[in-house]
Amino acid sequence: METEVFAYLDPGSGSMIIQILVGGLAAVGVTMKLYWRRITGIFSRGKKVEEKS
């Protein structure tokens, strides 16, 4: 389940993204999936399902 509450610390958006860029092999799958979702997201923006938190 996705947590919506942040810790008391600001994680920084850029600081989160960089973690998949420096993650090496462990990050390949996640990176591909992230960008795939972004590409498909462009075409499916209209029927995006409400996300439950």
Partner 1 sequence: MSPEIAGGERTRLEPGSFRDADSTVLYTDAGVFRALSAQGLEDFEALAASQLFERFAGDGRLVGTERVEAAHGDLPALRNEEVAALLRHEKIPFVSYPYEWPFGMLRDAALLQLDLLLAGLDEDLILKDSSPYNVQFRGAQATFVDVGSFERLPEGEPWIGYRQFCMLFLYPLMLQAYKGLAPHAWLRGAIDGITPTQMSAVTSARDVLRRGVLTHVRLHARLERRHGERPREVKRELHQAGFNKELIRANVSKLRKLVGRLDWIPPSGVWTDYGERTHYTDRDTEEKDRFVRDVAGSRAWDLVWDLGANDGRHSRLAADGGADYVVAMDGDQGAIEHLYRSLRDEGDRRILPLTVNLTDPSPALGWRGVERKTVLERGRPDLVLCLALVHHVSIAGNVPIREVVDWLASLGAALVIEFPTREDPKVEQLLAAKRSGTHLDYDREFFERCLGETFDVVRSERLSSGTRVLYFARPRGAVPAARDGRTALGR
Residues that bind partner 1 (CB under 8 A): 1-4, 6-27, 29-31, 33-34, 37-38, 51
The CB-of-27 to partner 1 minimum distance in angstroms stands at 6
Q: What are phi and psi of 20, to 5 degrees?
A: -90, -20
Q: Is the dihedral of CA 6, 30, 16, 25 positive or negative?
A: positive
Report the distance separating Cα 18 and Cα 21, nearest Å.
5
Nearer to partner 1, 46 or 49 (CB): 49
The CB-of-52 to partner 1 minimum distance in angstroms stands at 11
The CB-of-20 to partner 1 minimum distance in angstroms stands at 7
